[in-house]
Amino acid sequence: MTIAVKEEGQFTILENGTVTSPKGYEAGGFHAGFKRKRKDLGWITSHVPAVAAGVFTMNTFQAPPLKVTQESLLGGTLQGIVVNSGNANAFTGKKGLEDAYEMRKQFANIMNLKETETAVTSTGVIGEYLPMDAILNGINRIPDYKNSTNGNQFAEAIVTTDKVTKEVAVTCEIDGKEVTIGGAAKGSGMIKPNMATMLAFVTTDAAVEQKALQSALNDITNRTYNMITVDGETSTNDMVLLMANGKAANVPLNKNHSDWSTFVAALEYVSQQLAKMIAKDGEGATKLVEVHVSGAETKEGAKAIAKSIVGSNLVKTAIHGADANWGRIVCAIGYSGETVEEESLSISIGPINVVDHGITTAFSEEKAKEYLESETIEIHVDLHNGNEKAVAWGCDLSYDYVRINASYRT
């Protein structure tokens, strides 16, 4: 049961919200044996076929599950998603593709779904074949767990090196009907803008036309999931899937609907929160870094600069060490590919202004260090060259990042 706890403009944030907060969805997860102890098999189903949209990794090597899921999306609807963690089924050739199809087939059969309305997702180690005996045995056991697991268990089952699960849900009013949007995500390492190593699953009971749903997801992805980075790596597997099953019984939404902006605002909030949770939970991370760029001539320019700063290893290590070395921020702006006038540039680290129109300010190193020891760090850059702005999210780079990734397979 979800409880409304906070109003956020056009929508209400739910306490303990999950992918099953919207009407007409079931989900769960359990330990099927691919990993040593943690849950590793999860699923989501809708009571009816749902209008669906998806966005996928930009890596040249797309893993077999992505190819199978993109094929399922050609019909514009999904009714079920099955996810395994611990093994990515990536760079596994013909056998990997056959295994992904078999995974889809068995899940569709056991859940009474059409194969063409079923999505398959895998995450974990690259280059190893799926343990198909364990996969199929696990899928066949899903009915035994249907009544004892929920959206929280699904969120647990999809993680790999994540320290925490990532879930959020909101409600809003559309056509006088209560509409709910819920989401779950995983991601901790190999996170770079342009759809990197992350999975995000978003459900809603709103009725939405498919083209409008895909368009909204594309736009929102560019402002949220594509604006996070942990380590500059882009994975082979990951995706965002969005399902809208219409159980709220509103008039189907499109861009001309009077409540379209309300729906988009709620969907963007869910996506932004999931993206920020991924950035904050970066492997070895101790701080969330939020970079605001304003005064840009173009939106793309603002985004490029924000992503350049948040992706800089030198900026990330300075933040980890609570060192207000603003020169590293300047360097990241300089190699962003955007033209910036030095005398127009202003930079603040939190409330502390360190550069004003190209001139170094006299700031307190002690106060800057105190601020940089916070859990959330904001960097503000004003280019004084236009009206466009952008926000990007990342994390600091710690010693633990090397430790975690040096022993990822062991």
High-pLDDT (> 70) share of the chain, %: 89
Where residue 402 falls among pLDDT bands split at 50, 70, 90? low
pLDDT, greater one: 380 or 88:
380
293 pLDDT above the threshold of 50: yes
Global pTM value: 0.85
Number of residues that make up the chain: 410
- Given the residues 161, 165, 180, 197, the one annotated as active site: 197
Owner of token pair 């899903």:
142
Of 56-70, 77-91, 230-244, where does mean pLDDT reach its minimum?
A: 230-244
Owner of token pair 């173009």:
298
Tens-place pLDDT, residues 298-325: 999 999 999 999 988 899 889 999 999 9
The arithmetic mean of pLDDT across residues 68-97, rounded, is 95
Tens-place pLDDT, residues 242-291: 999 999 999 999 999 999 999 999 999 999 999 988 887 766 578 889 99
Tokens of 285: 């991370």
How many CB atoms lie under 10 A from the CB of residue 176? 7
CATH class, range 288-406: alpha beta
Domain spans, the chain: 3-280, 288-406
Our answer to whether residue 197 is catalytic in this structure is yes
233 pLDDT above the threshold of 50: no
DSSP readout, 35-85?
Answer: SSSS--EEEEEEEEEEEEEEEE---SS--HHHHHHHHHHTTSEEEEEEEEE
Tens-place pLDDT, residues 167-226: 999 999 999 999 999 999 997 544 343 433 579 999 999 999 999 999 999 999 999 988
- Angle 132-145/93-111 helices, nearest 10 degrees? 20
Q: Is 378 helix (H, G, I), strand (E, B) or coil?
A: strand
Calpha distance 84→91 (Å, rounded): 16
CATH of the domain spanning 3-280? 3.60.70.12
